Amino acid sequence: MALSILVVLSPVFLVVYILLAIANNGKAFFVQKRPGKNEKVFEIIKFKSMNDKKDSNGTLLPDAERITKVGSFVRKTSLDEIPQLFNVLKGDMSMIGPRPLLTSYLKLYSEEQKRRHDIKPGVTGWAQINGRNTISWQKKFEYDVWYVDNCSFLLDLKIFWMTFLKVVKRDDVSSSTHATMETFTGN
């Protein structure tokens, strides 16, 4: 499925790549270590929607100040997720599953929240179609663990279809208080 989607979206992929390479001084991709199944760390690849501008102390500026115009469009339309299909082909991710979060969050999870790592992370998941970046961390983890306990082919088809509708409508892309999702600080 991932390969088919990549082939179909290859013209879009190429256009987005060129536009982001121009907007980000040649850097079209964002690569970051994320925990996958059984907390095994892998490198996720996404389109880079933010530049690397820093303040006078060398600290990255806040997300809202670093999102480029092209990056904002790419993020709102979820086109920044397309390169993760390579992670699916590589076997690090699945199409559907809990979204892979930052490795720094691993030490902050409760035992119940850690269960989200019992399966491969996904490009989209139950939490994404039920609020994405507009729901609390607690709710997001509840949805992730619920999915782990209830995953099935029919549920995956439902999530895939609902994701398509969310992308078309551009629903729940941003948190009401942040340009991206708030940082998880623990329970």
List, in order, residues 6 or more apart from 129 with CB less than 8 Å away: 159, 162, 163, 166
What value does the mean pLDDT take over residues 154-181?
Answer: 77
CA-based nearest residue to 3, from 90, 69, 78: 90
Q: What is the pLDDT of residues 55-93, one digit of tens each?
A: 999 898 888 888 989 999 998 888 999 999 999 999 999
DSSP line for 18-63: HHHHHHTTT--EEEEEEE-GGG-EEEEEEE--B---B-TTSPBPPH
CA distance to 21, 32, 139, 150, per residue, from 44 (Å): 18, 5, 24, 25
- Pairing label, strands 41-47, 94-96: unpaired
Q: What is the pLDDT of residues 114-165, one digit of tens each?
A: 999 999 999 999 999 999 888 999 999 999 999 999 999 999 999 999 998 9
Q: Which pTM does this prediction carry?
A: 0.85
Each domain of the chain, given as residue ranges in start order, spans 2-169
Q: Which pLDDT does position 181 carry in this prediction? A: 72
Mean of pLDDT over the chain? 91
Segment 152-179 shows an average pLDDT of 79
pLDDT tens-digit map of 29-47:
999 999 999 999 999 999 9
Q: Can you list the positions of beta strands (E) in the chain?
A: 29-35, 41-47, 94-96, 122-124
